Structure 1
Amino acid sequence: MRALVVVGLLAVVALVFVVVALVRDTQGEAGLAGGCPEGAPLADVKLRERKDVKINVLNSTDRPGLASQVADEFSNRQFQVKKTANEKKQIDDVAVLRYGPKGVGSAHLLRAYFLNNAKDGYDAKRKDDTVDVVLGNSFQQLATTTEVNQALGDLGAPVAPPGSCPMPIDK
């Protein structure tokens, strides 16, 4: 009989402990946009699969046909290539990734294809989820699958750019 009283008492103490922990939980809104400045854009920080990433490939070099060549490589890797074009202004970087709040997770994945050497071109006012991949004069080639996986490990999880807030995970 004493054993049942002790077990019952332990169960009541455990129940009280759980209720107190749930009531005092300060992380209930973790990962949500709570606490963000009013009007801050919600950044989609979900790491996208290749088949879900929409890109435009732009050639900002003097090498003719580079955008089409790289677009074919991205298509072969299951990316959705929307358009290719030439930029008038040349850049010396490896690449510039231009994207808006809806393209944060996609740009994070693409950054790995340039071994984290692509320059960031975040634009808070951009409304679509397409990423512009602007190829520069320092571009040599896209990373291999193994190199991409290693680069993703080095990069960690996508982070909301300054001035934006992470979108709730379930959206």
Structure 2
Amino acid sequence: MSFARVRALVVVGMLALVALVFVIVAMLRDTQSNAGLGEGCPADWPRADVTLREAKEVKIEVLNGTDRPGLAASVGDDFRNRNFKVEKESNAKKQIDDVAVLRYGPKGVGGAHLLRAYFLNAADHEYDPKITTDVVKVTLGNSFQQLATTTEVNQSLGDLGAPVAPPGSCPMADD
């Protein structure tokens, strides 16, 4: 073997060794390994489930907050066709002018995030830490026209990013 080959092998070996040491040091000094796990969170704050849910995992109640008869049933069918679990369809106690209002508790954060995409992030969302179920209440308003298409939902989810824990709550730690 020529001297040039030996020298090249030594240089490549040293570079590989330096890269391995660099990777090990970076992994040992990582300060973000527990990011988003709710450490340091007050004990009395609720733990929000910030896992983005699939439609088949999301339970919803559809409420008609307009004067259009049958809107809740029609939109409930649309949600069923998109694999959501529609628990109930009824009329809201009062009319709203918005596109929709999503009401949810700590267990419904991931589901509400998905539903925001179906309204192209035009729905208001109201987090209530006292709600103990994972059901998201969808109140349709006078500005509602239709649910987004699959492509629009995917684009909207990209724009929205990952679900985050609402103020006054902490992300649920992975078990």
TM range (shorter): 0.7 to 0.9
Cα distance per residue 1:66-115 (max 9 Å; x no partner): 00000000001100000011112111000000000111110000001101
For the pair 1:74 / 2:79, whether they are aligned, the reply is: yes
Q: Moved runs in structure 1, 4+ residues, more than 4 A?
A: 6-23
Q: 2: distance between equivalents of 1:24 and 1:76?
A: 48
Cα distance per residue 1:2-34 (max 9 Å; x no partner): xxxx99999998887666555543223222110
Aligned match of 2:30: 25
2:56 maps to which of 41, 51, 59: 51
SS at match of 2:76: helix
2:161 maps to which of 147, 156, 159: 156
Matches within 5 A, 1:92-107: 92-107=97-112
Unaligned ranges ≥5, structure 2: 1-10
For the pair 1:42 / 2:47, whether they are aligned, the reply is: yes
Aligned match of 1:126: 131
Cα distance per residue 1:36-87 (max 9 Å; x no partner): 1231111111110010010000011111110000000000110000001111
Cα distance per residue 1:115-161 (max 9 Å; x no partner): 10000111011111110000011111111111111111111111111
Q: What's the TM-score once normalised by structure 1's chain length?
A: 0.86
Larger Rg: 2
Unaligned ranges ≥5, structure 1: 1-5
Seq. identity, %: 73
SS at match of 1:98: strand
Aligned match of 1:91: 96
The 1:58/1:23 distance shift into structure 2, 3 A limit, reads same
The 1:17/1:145 distance shift into structure 2, 3 A limit, reads closer
Q: Could you say what the CA RMSD is over the residues aligned between the two structures, in angstroms? A: 2.4
The 1:62/1:26 distance shift into structure 2, 3 A limit, reads same
Cα drift, residue 166 of structure 1: 1.0
1:140 maps to which of 130, 139, 145: 145
